């Protein structure tokens, strides 16, 4: 589990694993947004200059810096809006149609 | 006031505090919220009314916030936020209370609670994410919908050309309370926005930030153009970046007032019905506004 996700996805197999009442733990995220995408952003890591721009402008926070200093995308939570590709200063993010 | 630390993509925390939410792809409001939370920090207390940001993050059994967050009645974001601030003070906790509301929850429904909260002088931050209509309920006109925009309650037809009134001047209404710190921002200028959130955090009393945040669903623009549109609107002068501090207004950016507003308007389907006459009227409104702003604020 990557540390930026903070918590593992909670298991919801039995009824008593669901939060009760009108409150629940913070960061209780049980499902993904991956199915929203029509186009998927792909970063060309060799050409990425690590300018932090895509990380800054991502509304979902789905882009993060990996250990080699370059940026990578969490495809579980990327919605494919295309802001990163549009804002990339060196234009190395390509929007690729999702294969069925 | 001390010189604020330089805030940019490299210096903000790498931790995400708003993650896995269900906002539409390309949502400007969720971007504003995400970055504001990074500046505000992990141990703040958030109050959100029934708007988009509450609807996309508190979907049972999901909870997309890291911070403590509560959904408030629509009219009382600022009342709840100051109540939380008073509670924190009573418990001797030196933590921040923050209210996040949309344009409807700020300028129409929540204005009374906001006015009262600023008047009480409680230390809290209020961030208005302005997407210029009630987007959560289906794009109805709010007090901050601009002139000419087509919404479901001001549809553009042959006689009426979308919304007939210009935006309510929310920033100056708030500043007129003599608030400790108020500012306008845009998601097109994110460093500027984060710097203002930091100033709001350091302010000695209530602070208000009005951030312009495009909505691809309600405005009818491509989801990847959110930042571009939010930048263009500042560059052409239809929106402004300003601050109110120590009783004085300050303009942060002077736009090119002879630039063509069509670049901004044509990117959005809510403005596609506008005729040349309507666009001239929008330009006249811009000119009138800036004549006053430059005279009074710079």
B216 → chain A, closest CA residue: A81
Instruction: Tell me the C-alpha distance between A81 and A59, whole Å.
Output: 9
Angle at A59 between CA B82 and CA B13, to 5 degrees: 70
Give the model's confidence band at B191: pLDDT under 50 very low, under 70 low, under 90 confident, else very high.
Answer: very high
Name chain B contacts of A57, Cβ cutoff 8 Å: 31, 190, 227
Q: Cβ separation of B16 and A24 shorter than 8 Å?
A: no
In a domain, B1, yes or no: no
Question: If you average pLDDT over residues B78-105, what whole number do you get?
Answer: 96
In terms of phi and psi (left: phi > 0; alpha: psi -120 to 50; beta: otherwise), the region of B132 is left
- Which residue among B20, B61, B190 sits closest to A24, beta carbon to beta carbon? B61
Whether pLDDT at B298 is above 50: yes
Amino acid B4: pLDDT: 52
Cα–Cα distances (Å) from B62 to A32, B43, B81, B158, B196, in that order, read 10, 20, 23, 45, 30
Please give the tally of structural domains in chain B: 1
In a domain, B171, yes or no: yes
Give the model's confidence band at B266: pLDDT under 50 very low, under 70 low, under 90 confident, else very high.
Answer: very high
Could you tell me the residue range of the domain that residue B74 belongs to? Answer: 28-297
Rounded to the nearest integer, the mean pLDDT of chain B is 94
Amino acid B222: pLDDT: 95
Q: Does A36 touch chain B (CB under 8 A)?
A: yes
Give the model's confidence band at A13: pLDDT under 50 very low, under 70 low, under 90 confident, else very high.
Answer: confident
Name chain B contacts of A15, Cβ cutoff 8 Å: none
Cα–Cα distances (Å) from A81 to B18, B24, B193, B229, in that order, read 17, 8, 22, 15
In a domain, B8, yes or no: no
Candidates A4, A7, A56, A77, partner chain B, best to mutate (most B CBs within 10 A) = A56
Give the model's confidence band at A66: pLDDT under 50 very low, under 70 low, under 90 confident, else very high.
Answer: confident
Name chain B contacts of A33, Cβ cutoff 8 Å: 20, 22
In a domain, B14, yes or no: no
Residue A49 Cα, gap to closest chain B Cα (Å) = 14
- Token pair of B190 as six digits: 């994110």
Q: Does A77 touch chain B (CB under 8 A)?
A: yes
Query: Could you tell me the domains of chain A?
Result: 32-100 (3.30.70.20)
Of residues B25 and A1, which shows the higher confidence score?
Answer: B25
Q: What tens digit of pLDDT does each residue of B200-245 get?
A: 999 999 999 999 999 999 999 999 999 999 999 999 999 999 999 9
Whether pLDDT at A1 is above 50: no
Peptide bond into B195 cis (omega under 30): no
Residue B167 Cα, gap to closest chain A Cα (Å) = 26
Percent of chain B scoring above 70 in pLDDT: 98
Whether pLDDT at A6 is above 90: no
Whether pLDDT at B5 is above 70: no
Name chain B contacts of A73, Cβ cutoff 8 Å: none
Q: What tens digit of pLDDT does each residue of B116-126 get?
A: 999 999 999 99
Residue B23 Cα, gap to closest chain A Cα (Å) = 8
CATH number assigned to the domain comprising residue B157: 3.40.50.970
Percent of chain B scoring above 90 in pLDDT: 90
**DSSP classification of residue B107:** I
**Count of beta carbons in the 10 Å neighbourhood of residue B288:** 11
In a domain, B215, yes or no: yes
Instruction: Tell me the C-alpha distance between B76 and B47, whole Å.
Output: 9
Phi, psi angle pair for B82, to nearest 5°: -75, -30
Whether pLDDT at A4 is above 60: no
Instruction: Tell me the C-alpha distance between B25 and B230, whole Å.
Output: 16
Q: What tens digit of pLDDT does each residue of B47-63 get?
A: 999 999 999 999 888 88
Amino acid B142: pLDDT: 95
Q: Does A42 touch chain B (CB under 8 A)?
A: no
């Amino acid at each position: 589990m990557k540390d930026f996700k903070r918590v593992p996805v909670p298991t919801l197999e039995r009824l008593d694993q669901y939060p009760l009442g009108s409150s629940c733990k913070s960061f209780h995220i049980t499902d993904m947004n991956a199915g929203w995408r029509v186009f998927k952003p792909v970063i060309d890591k060799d050409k990425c200059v690590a300018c932090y721009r895509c990380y800054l402008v991502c509304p979902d926070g789905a882009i993060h810096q990996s250990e080699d200093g370059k940026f990578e995308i969490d495809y579980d939570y990327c919605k494919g809006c295309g802001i990163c590709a549009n804002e990339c200063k060196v234009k190395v993010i390509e929007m690729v149609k999702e294969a069925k | 006031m001390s010189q604020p630390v330089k805030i940019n993509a490299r210096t903000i925390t790498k931790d995400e505090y708003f993650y896995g939410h269900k906002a539409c792809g390309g949502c400007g409001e969720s971007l504003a919220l995400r970055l504001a939370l990074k500046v505000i920090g992990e141990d703040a207390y958030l109050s959100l009314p029934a708007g988009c940001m509450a609807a996309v993050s508190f979907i049972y059994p999901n909870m997309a916030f890291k911070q403590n967050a509560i959904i408030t009645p629509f009219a009382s974001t600022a009342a709840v936020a100051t109540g939380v601030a008073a509670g924190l003070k009573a418990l001797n906790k030196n933590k921040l209370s923050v209210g996040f509301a949309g344009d409807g929850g700020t300028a129409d429904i929540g204005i009374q609670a906001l006015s009262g909260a600023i008047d009480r002088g409680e230390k809290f931050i209020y961030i208005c994410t302005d997407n210029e209509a009630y987007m959560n309920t289906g794009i109805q006109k709010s007090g901050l919908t601009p002139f000419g925009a087509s919404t479901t309650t001001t549809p553009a037809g042959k006689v009426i050309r979308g919304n007939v009134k210009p935006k309510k001047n929310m920033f100056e209404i708030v500043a007129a309370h003599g608030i400790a710190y108020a500012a306008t921002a845009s998601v097109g200028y994110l460093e500027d926005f984060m710097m203002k959130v930091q100033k709001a955090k350091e302010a000695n009393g209530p602070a208000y930030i009005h951030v312009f945040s495009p909505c691809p669903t309600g405005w009818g623009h491509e989801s990847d153009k959110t930042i571009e549109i939010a930048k263009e609107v500042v560059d052409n002068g239809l929106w402004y970046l300003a601050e109110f501090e120590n009783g004085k207004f300050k303009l942060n950016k002077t736009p090119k007032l002879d630039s063509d507003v069509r670049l901004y308007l044509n990117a959005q389907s809510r403005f596609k019905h506008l005729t040349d006459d309507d666009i001239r009227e929008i330009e006249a409104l811009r000119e009138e506004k800036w004549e006053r702003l430059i005279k009074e604020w710079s």
